[in-house]
Every structure is written in structure tokens, then in C-alpha cells.
Structure 1
Amino acid sequence: MAKIPFNISASKQGNRGLIRITGTIGLDTNADLFRSQVDSLVNDGVTDVHLYINSEGGSCFDAAEIVNIIQSSFSGRITGEGGAIVASAATFIALHCNSFTMPENGMFMIHKPSGGKEGNVRDLESYTKLLRDIENQYYNVYKNRATDPQLLEQQWNAGDWWLTAQEAKDNGFITDVKGQATIDERTAAVISACGCPRGKFPKIKKVATNNENKGESLSQIAEALDLPSDATLKQILEAIAKLKGEETPEKAVQSAVKMGCIGVSEQSEFLTIARTNPKVFAGLMRKRKIQASADVQAKIDNKVNTAIFDKRILATAANDWRKLFDLDFDTANAVLNQIEPIGKIVYHESRQDGKKPENRANWTLDDYRKKDPKALASNPQLYERLLEKEQTK
């Protein structure tokens, strides 16, 4: 798994409900189950609910839907507590609690909602309006709690605002600071991936005691960073370096343009996403790379299959040509275009009368039907090629 799995559940604890939200928020993962659990609590007469949140954020739209479900279902008091990290969309849920407690070594981070979408102008305009509406909704919630609205506006426009639990309390976003959270290497990797400044990074509790455990910890860190579980330490450090900003948004976008993942006209839009939310940008780039790879393979398959059909190459050589195209598409294409199709090679049949044999290079299907139908009957591939040529006229 590339990320800590999202999990949301609702259960009864004494006379009140307990809702746990962990991992990357995405309500569509198990929305029906969560709603059924909430409905069961409501039918059981539960009015008060307590939330536990340990999340790096996720979908701002899903977070808003979670809030809607909770507020429309429970008429009593809503209390909450955070784990090691309450960030991004998770803070929006936290601020809808009547009270919210954080451990003193926990991290609280807010920023503007961000996202990305592909489509035509109408699709993008519609999505932009939707994103602007959700941004205003988020900002107003923070502003209603902020002890210093001017500082909030300044930080809101600056980017990620990382606060310790005490700073979150001083700024009005939470109500209490109590206890300590256990922050292991996996949780630390998630906090690091979110971009927590080095100066505010919480202390890590060492859990690896032998080489086997250390290897397992590296695997967990790799997965939290969206890397393969068998990623090397060098790859992990490079990924963390990128997320910490050592690779600037400008360089990331330029690199994506060179790889063909971003069009020239899209640079400005994706630069904004890279600056405001590197995680969303990285996710979009992964999707673009997968699509680009699929497009290239489709293009290669089309070139190779056309060459086989035109009798430029043998079908048995198809895989070799695909490898050549993978290595250098332009060079392979140039070489392939220099190969004369068999159909264009002038060949002559022997004639007993001594006359010059006829050149059949330009014969049509109708010519063969009239002049040499036996040739069609004995050569099905010739018939199919001529029929295809005639149908495409």
C-alpha cells in the first residue's frame, strides 16, 4: 500500500458515540458502512459524540461530507481529540467540535484547499467555482475560531501553516493540550511527507531493535511516501528531499513538461498546484505518467502492427521492434520508414511467350479479380491487404 489506509468508524461507548478517523481522508472508501453505523447510533438514542482524529488530511470535499453527516445526525455535544497529526482537511472536521484536545507533541496544520482536474474549459470553470466555494467555506470556519484574524489571513495566503498543539490553542483552533502522543517512524514519515518544517518536527520514538525490524520500518516509510515497499534508502531520502522543497515547484513542473506529462499551456495551472499542495501535484503526475506510458505503448503498437500489415517487417520480429521503439522512438521510426513494403517491390512472373512480364505493384483488388483470380485464392493475406486498401479509399 502506498498510503496509510483511510478508516472511519462509528460505535457506541457508554452513552455516547465514538467516531475514529485515521489516515488519508476519502469518504468514498466505506461511506455506506459509516452512514449505517451512524444511523444505528441515532436509532439507539445517542445524541453526544466524541471524535478521535489522527489524519494528514485528504479530500476537502469528503471532509465536508463527514461534517455534514455528523452534524445532521447528532443533536448533542460534539467533542474531539487529535493524535500525532491533524492536518489539512482533518482540521476542518476538528473545528466543528465543541471542544478539541491535542497532545502536546501533536502537529496541527491548515492551508487552502487545493485540487486538480482534467477536462474542457467548461469542466475546469465548474471545478474552479466548486473549489473556490469550498475554500471560502473552510476559511470562514478558521476565521470564526482565530484569535488573530489578520495573522490567519497572512498565513492563509502564505501556504502551509504548521502549529504545535500549544500554538494551535493560542490561535483559537483547539481548546486543550494534554498528554503525549506516541510518534513512531511510520507516523514521522507521514508528518515529514506533509511538509512539516524541520524546526517543529516532533521527536520520534525509536521502535526498531534489530536489522529485521529496521528493514520493516523502511518498508513502512517507503509506503507512506508513495514508493514501492522495496524502495532503497537512497530513494526514500530523495523522496523526502523533494517533499521538503529541495526540488522546487518550478523544477518539478519543468521536469514534467520535458517528460510530456504536462502541456505547455498547462504549466501555470500545475505550478500553482505544485506550490500550494505538493502531495496533490505528485498524485496528478503519477496518473499523467501512467497515461503517458500507456499512450506511448499504444503508439508503438500501432507503428509495429501497421508495419506488419504493410509487410515492412515480419510478425516474428514484432517484439524486437517494440524494444527498439522503447529505446529510441524517433530513430526506430526513421529506420522503419526506410524499409520498402513487399507490396511496393517490383516483381515479375515468368512468361512463356517471351514478352515483358507485367508489373503488379499497382494492381487493385479489381485488377486481380479480372486478370489473375487464382493469385487471390492462393494468397489470403494479399486479398485481405487489397480489400483493406479498397475500403479505406
Structure 2
Amino acid sequence: MILAVDDNVIRAIGIIWEGDGVYFTRVLNEVERLHNNIVIKLHTFGGSVFDGNLIYNVCNASTKIERLEIIGIAASMGAIISQSRKNVYMVRNGFMMIHPPSGYANGTAKDLKATVNLLEQMEKNFCNDLSATTGKTTKWIQENWLDGSDHWFSAEQALKENLIDGIIENETEVDRFDPSEIENENEVYARYAALYIPNITNNKIETDEMKKEVIEAMNLQGVNENSSDTAVIQALVTRYSALEKKDEDYKKELADLQAKLDEQSNGAVASIIDEAVKAGKIKKEDEPTYEAIGKTSGIEALQTVFANMNTRKPIAGQINGGTDANLDRASWDFDKWQTEDPRGFEALAKSDPEKFKTLFNAKYTK
């Protein structure tokens, strides 16, 4: 899970992995030392039940969290976490999804019985948490919301069911859609994640400093060194447009530059989507959705979405799970890392950026 702190606001975005409960607790404690009016902005498809429970407990116990805002999706364990507080709000185009915890196990009959017992206890906790905030009986929740199916709630429906306390304006524009009609559930999360998850590019380390120098030299507004290339270019074009230039040759040059940038960007988006179709990540008929993401959020955001599609999805309440730390990773390529150990690959980008860049270039530079 990505945690980003801005003054008294903590943005919690992404899948809840093993260890994220401790990570969230540490970040919350640091912010609590400085602020008494903390706002949690949540966007998650769920993940580890154990870590999610820890996040629920520390949020529930905090005396300094003023409100919790669902800014995209609060699904699975994310829905339970959202019930840890009073003053819970959801953006108008957001969704919540509730279903029972799931897991897997192997071994003897005794092992399997132990797993069943654990899942039943988790489900009981879910019922109690949901009952406390909605006023519905645990029996009703068990029969209607934890019956084995995914139950999606729009902001209006969540408010009607007392799952939230109010509806707030959207933080980002996502076309209205019915999540229950989307075949790939990861697509529901990706539609928002593409607009929230920080950009990850093969040359980010080298380009951040260059972006910073350009931004300072041109006094660009609304962007920083962490902004996408698309956003910086747009800010640069806007800055030039605001200058009092009457020279017709300059105006033509500016128009030609914008047209060239648009052409290059559209071509890159089309190429990335075409590769995703060939790789079987998306269907041909889904191309318009991803074209919109590429044009509005930038090429880096589109690459992040497709990269996440290769990521192994964690199972809520995972039993005897995790990656074998003894596997030989020396021969792994980009796709192997994404499939077998995505969190390790994220760490590799920081610990050994040269190796990460080599793998990235081997994947995308043809």
C-alpha cells in the first residue's frame, strides 16, 4: 500500500500487503504527533485481512482522526476499514464492495478444519463491525452481505445503508459505470488507481531533478518534480501561452509544438494499448477506456495500470502464503518479477535502480 502524507492528510492507496498494518501504524503515529485533525483518504481493493484488521484497530482507537474519505474504491478489507470511524464520506463517483473473507490451505484434515475456523472467526468480526455502524443485525448481514457474493454499493446506496455518513464531490473524474457488470474485478480498481498511483518510469531517478530545474526556471504552477511528463509539458505550454507574445511566428511555433506533442502522445498511447491487447491483458473492445486513461492521466499512468495487471493479487486472509525467499532471482526478467514477487520488484527499484532500469528497458525498449 502506498501511504502519502501531506500536512494532516494521509492518503492510503493500493493493495494491503503483509506488513502494511505495521507500516500504516507507524505513519499514523508520526502524523498524530503533529496534528489533531487528521484526514484519511482511502482507495483500496483490499488484501491481507490480518494487516487490514490492524489498520482498522489503530484507526478505531485514534483520538485524532477527524474524518475518513473514500476517494475511489473501498472494497473487501477496505470496506471494513472504512467502518472504523465516524464521519465517513465517499466521493460521488466512488464504490464500496463487501464480501466474506477468503483464504486457502493445504495439509491434513486438522489443518483444513483450523483454516475453516479461522475464516469463520474473521467473518464473525466482519459482521460485528458492519452491525456496529449500520445498525443491522449480524444475522441480516450474514445472510445478505456475507453470503459468498460480491456486493457493490454506489455512494448513494452506501449512504442509504448507513455505511457512510455523507457524499462529497469527486477528487477525480471517472466515467460512471456498474462494477458488477465488469468481468475483470481488477479493472474496477484500475480505473481509479491510474489517476492516483504515483508514476513509475524507467528513468524517474534521472528525470526528477531535470523536471525540478525546468519548473523552477519557468515558474510553472500546479506541478512539481513528481508530476508526470504529460503534466509538466502541459504546464509549460500553458506558461508560454500566458506570456504576452504578439509575434505571429512565435504563435505558429507554439501551435506546431502542441500539435507535435499531441501526435507523439497519442501514438505512444496507441502503441502501449496495442501491446496490451496482443499480450491478452485487455480485450479489443476495451481500448476506448484505456485510451481515455492515457490521454487524461498520461502515458506513465497507463503503463502503471498494465504493469499492475501482471501483479499477483493477494488473497484476503492468506494462509501459508507469501513468496519463497530462497528462489533464485538472478535470471528473472521484468514479467517474472511482476508475477512472482511484485513487492520485491518495488524494493529493487530503490535498492538497485540500475538493475531495475535494465529490466525495464529490456521489457519496453524494442
Structure 1-normalised TM-score? Answer: 0.46
Report the structure number with the largest CA radius of gyration. 1
Say which structure, 1 or 2, has more relative contact order (CA 8 Å, 6+ apart). 2
TM-score by length of 2: 0.49
